[in-house]
Structure 1
């Protein structure tokens, strides 16, 4: 099994969504074509079912990925959200219908050559980074585009585009795979892939992931904890935060809140 397959099968970036009263806001994820799944984790849609009477604050937690997103009401404006080691909150009002493409870690810069570090911790206008797909979204999408057609259009464009993808750097893939397999609990300087120095690895991570191996490991560790949201008592009773590499409960709470925007107690309460 290659490292790239390992990442897809062992790393599932979680984006929790709090259900709204009477389902006034809906979030859904959709798989892309099988041939795209080594690059793209999912397509997603966040939309209202009726006009909101109060602002909705959409929280995006740190997940190590990069996302293209746009509003179907005005696809001429599209954006790329870079790597972040903190949560992001977007205040939304009225009616909206956002669509996104979530790229697996390190994959967006292979498809659309760019230094990922230049996009980190911000939403950047897509036409300044990848004008071809920005034009495609502007020309082919409109507010009446349904998800089946939307998925088909995105698949077609991206399948044609993957032939232009930069070749994978196996040193980077192996390092990412090590971090994912170890749930972020690894000191890469001691377990470097063959033929690369810590400085070279840092440059590769900044170019393709958007930050350092340490920052990426922190996000992976946090994401692994989110897998246990179905069992909050198990986390507290068995002190799983210690097994996950946090020094103590205070360290766990502080880091979790910076990556999620809420304390573990509020997230895991049942």
Structure 2
């Protein structure tokens, strides 16, 4: 039900290439994709890579320095990374709640920041560094990553609280357009639910719903003209055009008129 979009790289217009590939089937409930971001040989100046809010937690590393793996937490806004050239990054994008579930890491400690993975999950950082050393191509590395995470999954015995999963399910089915006070019934008090969301998602249900709503809108592949003419932002649950533009700019980094074709 959730397919996070990262639309910042424009094919043929930017001096970098971005690609995604799916993990093996057993991992699809935990990992959304593996990705690679590579500069073009013609790159002559630093490249600024914009990451839009997508509700996920990512691990990433430069292939020339696989010993330095980083984790980027849940983001309530867009993030810009000025990258020196040349660069070649590979990453793992975990679906909401999956990384804290598998590695018992409090997602709230990573919200709106990125950290060295060895300070958060040392054993995972060490294992990934050894696995990825010497690899520079995602297609070659993918089966190794699959086996690595399948082994972790096979040894994992814990489950997330079913009340959290029910709440996430309701938000995703509603595309983030949900009245939390009236429609988010998961058998837990609002205070307890907030604690669950803080640990597994990284922020409150309301904030997560906003990110899901933003991502849902991106999936409709709107144009700036169609949004203005058809007012699709009302269907997505935005109060008015000003509300939509403000939230879009916060999570994308550009207003819709500049971000959309």
Please report how far the alpha carbon of residue 38 of structure 1 lies from its aligned counterpart in structure 2 after TM superposition.
0.4
Please report how far the alpha carbon of residue 230 of structure 1 lies from its aligned counterpart in structure 2 after TM superposition.
4.4
Return 5+ residue gaps in structure 2 as ranges: none
Distance 1:47 1:142 in 2: 17
* Conserved? CA contact 1:64–1:219, under 8 Å: yes
SS at match of 2:247: helix
Return 5+ residue gaps in structure 1 as ranges: 1-9
* Conserved? CA contact 1:62–1:87, under 8 Å: yes
Q: What is the aligned partner in structure 2 of residue 136 from structure 1?
A: 127
Q: What is the aligned partner in structure 1 of residue 18 from structure 2?
A: 27
Say yes or no: does 1:116 pair with 2:107: yes
Q: What does residue range 3-42 of structure 1 map to in structure 2 within 5 Å?
A: 10-19=1-10, 24-42=15-33
Aligned length: 260
- 1:207-259 C-alpha deviation (Å, 9 max, x unpaired): 00000000000101111111233444332211111121111111111111010
Distance 1:230 1:137 in 2: 38
Q: What is the aligned partner in structure 1 of residue 239 from structure 2?
A: 247
- 1:23-42 C-alpha deviation (Å, 9 max, x unpaired): 64110001001000000000
Distance 1:144 1:159 in 2: 20
* Conserved? CA contact 2:88–2:136, under 8 Å: no
Distance 2:151 2:170 in 1: 31
Query: Considering only aligned residues, what root-mean-square deviation do their CA atoms show, in Å?
Result: 1.6
Please, what TM-score do these two structures have when normalized by structure 1? 0.91
SS at match of 2:19: strand
* Conserved? CA contact 1:81–1:119, under 8 Å: yes
Q: What is the aligned partner in structure 2 of residue 187 from structure 1?
A: 179
* Conserved? CA contact 2:23–2:34, under 8 Å: yes
Distance of aligned partners of 1:251 and 1:22 in 2 relative to their CA distance in 1, 3 Å threshold: closer
Please, what TM-score do these two structures have when normalized by structure 2? 0.94
* Conserved? CA contact 2:4–2:54, under 8 Å: yes
